[in-house]
Structure 1
Amino acid sequence: MNTTDGIPGRRSLLKYGAALAFGIPAAVALAGCTVEDPLAKQAKAGDNKNYIAGDGSVTEYAPEKRGKPVDISGKLFSGMQASSEQWRGNVVVLNFWYAACAPCRKEAPDLVALHETFSPEGTLFFGVNIRDEKATADAFERTFNIPYPSFNDKDGQVLLSMTSYVPPQAVPTTIVLDKQGRVSARILGLAEKSTLKALISDAVAE
């Protein structure tokens, strides 16, 4: 754990807070032991729940702890193809959503504002819509003036490639990719604006 004068650094505190949110004992959280993601475990259980609500918990991954670059490809609602190979060298924010998801609607204005803040620096934003037909997604994007494109992922292609980080049906989930295309941070559930801004800023500064 990175510390300054014995005080845990912000990255460590974010991990600690995420662990506590899942009910992991403090001693285990501070020790950095590997535990199975409870939402992923619930998703794998096959208990026929239609919705898995994230609790807004945050996980930030230190550069040396990140895995390989993600491999994502799919079709946007515009009809254009997009893939993670095109994003190398840019920080990328992926937001998993669908129109009837209440927290997705609540966080939409904050995502728009963060796009306006970070896109001039080269940060890319993409939505990943896991449920809606094009007309429904288009109506949502008009309502909230969404300026960035979304994947039409009703077939689950993008979600499947991200299941190590995004439990099926855990929506919304927001992922930050570093400039190498690796996952640097994840928010399960509603993305609090100041928290997501800090996570993006960390990735941009690397």
Structure 2
Amino acid sequence: MRVHIRNTSRAAVTLLLLLAASAGCSSKPPPTVEVAGGVPLVSAQSRVAAPSFSGEGLDGDHISYEDYKGHIIVLNFWASWCAPCRLEARDLNELAQETEPLSVRFLGINVRDSRDKAQAFERAFQSNYPSIFDPSGKATLGFQGQIAGYTPTTLIIDRTGRIAGIVNGAIQKETLLNSIRHVSEEAPSPLQGIP
């Protein structure tokens, strides 16, 4: 008996296997900086560049990481069927508004979902920042080895485009806020603005 898997499902399964394999093969974790009441951050000299990504937003507009360079980016991987994603949705919306004056921009990547369910989720939680619709895992693929591969996962990307922190699981509002503030107070790199 042959089982045919749709391309979308095959890509999602492949992505999950790659993420699981790379998580088990990773070397020693990078040194971290403890933030009072916050998410431990990767020390500035040990950060790695976030991969470039882009895709179609849930509203049909094109979204590109390149459009947000120079800002601190909070990147949240989520799905409508994910219970912890529902728990953190309002806090993420509030943080997006509260941290905008710090030059922080929030982006979402919706994974393993259907467009209509993802759009209903955004309406229900009145999402105030854009999300890439990524059922095939194309935008997510570049993050293999850097994220755990489950939802929700939230990354803090510094102004120079390097991954400063990762939260696996639902965020705690004050904890994430304290880490965002810490990253916003870091001295700009002399390479900032150089592609």
Q: So what's the TM-score if we normalise by structure 1?
A: 0.70
8 A contact 1:97–1:104 mirrored in 2: yes
Query: Within 5 A, what are the aligned runs for 1:106-185?
Result: 106-168=87-149, 170-185=150-165
Give the 3 Å change call, closer, same or farther, for CA 88–44 of structure 1 in structure 2.
same
Q: Distance in 2 between matches of 1:144 and 1:203?
A: 27
- CA drift of 1:42 comes to 8.2
Specify the alignment match of 1:49 in structure 2.
Answer: none
Q: Percent identity?
A: 35
Q: Distance in 2 between matches of 1:157 and 1:79?
A: 16
2:159 alignment partner, SS class: coil
Q: Distance in 2 between matches of 1:185 and 1:62?
A: 9
8 A contact 2:148–2:168 mirrored in 1: no
Consecutive unaligned residues of structure 2, counting only runs of 5 or more, are 1-16, 23-37, 187-195
2:145 alignment partner, SS class: coil
Q: Distance in 1 between matches of 2:112 and 2:142?
A: 16
Specify the alignment match of 1:196 in structure 2.
Answer: 176
- CA drift of 1:79 comes to 1.7
Structure having greater relative contact order (Cα 8 Å, sep ≥ 6): 2
Give the 3 Å change call, closer, same or farther, for CA 73–41 of structure 1 in structure 2.
closer
Specify the alignment match of 2:53 in structure 1.
Answer: 72
- CA drift of 1:126 comes to 0.8
Query: Within 5 A, what are the aligned runs for 1:4-43?
Result: 43=20
Consecutive unaligned residues of structure 1, counting only runs of 5 or more, are 1-39, 46-56
- The list of structure 1 runs, each at least 4 consecutive aligned residues, that deviate by more than 3 angstroms after superposition, is none
| Number of equivalences | 155
Structure 1 vs Structure 2 CA RMSD: 2.1
2:66 alignment partner, SS class: helix
Of the structure 1 ranges 175-184 and 121-130, higher mean CA displacement relative to structure 2 is found in: 121-130
8 A contact 1:59–1:187 mirrored in 2: no
Q: Distance in 2 between matches of 1:195 and 1:150?
A: 23
Q: Distance in 1 between matches of 2:129 and 2:41?
A: 24
